């Protein structure tokens, strides 16, 4: 699985801690981790939590990433931003139990975490435990097991609802302030990672068009 990490400006100074925790867990399990930044508080390419949503939607819908790990101070703003886009199903995850239940019941493709609220002593251990519950083993098996079938059915219904009530991604992005979108994909490593992994030709063409 290709996992993308995205941090917004208020918590950018914690990028290295988060990235190291994610890589420590995910890479031995056979996953690839791509750090899209922000890499530090002084980065020229500054992301708001709204732009986290734009970037995550581009990565997931283009297949440049299979899963996005993001967050903000409380995790709530980034979660709302990601869930406003087609094809993105983001859960608010605070602890390993949240991670396990989100993975087994909802089987979404993104999580948002609080990187200020409750981010204290040994926070990196909580991060590792969260990622282990998310990425070790098969997701979507249901919990409790006897409700697995109805949970899978409801996930399918939700995907149909979202597909019906949201525009296709490129049409939606074209309706936004293009400077906002450009800022979301202005990160130092974006072009390198995105063009090496994306497969959706429509999204690739759109990104080429606005990045020159």
What average pLDDT does the segment 46-60 reach? 98
Strand partners, 140: none
Please, what is the average pLDDT of the chain? 97
Query: How far, CA to CA in Å, does 12 sit from each of 24, 95, 96, 110, 197?
Result: 19, 20, 22, 18, 24
Q: What are the tokens at 44? A: 């020229």
Share of the chain residues as helix, strand and coil, in percent rounded to the nearest 5:
55, 10, 35
Residue 143 has pLDDT above 90, yes or no: yes
At 46, the pLDDT band (50, 70, 90 cuts) reads very high
Residue from 19, 15, 112 nearest 71 by CA: 112
Query: How far, CA to CA in Å, does 157 sit from each of 52, 72, 149, 163, 165?
Result: 26, 29, 13, 10, 12
Model confidence pLDDT, tens digit, residues 88-106: 999 999 999 999 999 999 9
The number of residues in the chain equals 212
Model confidence pLDDT, tens digit, residues 180-209: 999 999 999 999 999 999 999 999 999 999
Q: How far apart are CA 4 and CA 20, in angstroms?
A: 13
Beta strands in the chain (DSSP E): 2-5, 32-35, 67-72, 90-92, 110-114
Query: Could you tell me the residue range of the domain that residue 113 belongs to?
Result: 2-211
Report the number of distinct structural domains present in the chain.
1
Residue 78 has pLDDT above 90, yes or no: yes
At 212, the pLDDT band (50, 70, 90 cuts) reads confident
What average pLDDT does the segment 161-178 reach? 95
CATH number at residue 140: 3.40.1400.10
Residue 25 has pLDDT above 90, yes or no: yes
At 70, the pLDDT band (50, 70, 90 cuts) reads very high
Q: Are 47 and 183 in contact (CB under 8 A)?
A: yes
Question: What pLDDT shows up at residue 9?
Answer: 97
Q: How far apart are CA 155 and CA 173, in angstroms?
A: 25
At 107, the pLDDT band (50, 70, 90 cuts) reads very high
Residue from 161, 162, 165, 173 nearest 200 by CA: 173
């Amino acid at each position: 699985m290709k996992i993308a990490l995205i941090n917004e400006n208020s918590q950018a100074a914690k990028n290295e801690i988060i990235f190291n925790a994610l890589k420590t867990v995910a890479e031995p399990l056979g996953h690839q981790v791509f750090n899209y930044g922000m890499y530090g508080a002084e980065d020229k390419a500054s992301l708001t939590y709204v732009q986290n949503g734009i970037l995550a939607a581009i990565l997931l819908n283009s297949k440049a990433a299979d899963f996005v790990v993001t967050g903000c101070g409380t995790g709530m703003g980034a979660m709302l931003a990601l869930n406003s886009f087609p094809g993105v199903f983001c859960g608010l995850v605070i602890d390993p139990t949240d991670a396990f239940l989100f993975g087994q019941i909802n089987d979404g493709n993104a999580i948002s975490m609080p990187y200020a609220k409750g981010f204290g002593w040994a926070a990196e251990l909580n991060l590792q435990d969260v990622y282990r519950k998310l990425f070790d083993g098969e997701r979507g098996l249901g919990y409790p097991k006897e409700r697995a079938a109805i949970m899978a059915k409801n996930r399918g219904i939700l995907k149909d609802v979202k597909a019906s009530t949201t525009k296709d991604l490129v049409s939606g992005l074209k309706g936004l302030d293009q400077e906002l979108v450009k800022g979301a994909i202005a990160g130092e490593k974006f072009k390198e990672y995105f063009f090496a992994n994306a497969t959706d030709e429509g999204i690739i063409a759109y990104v080429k068009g606005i990045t020159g």
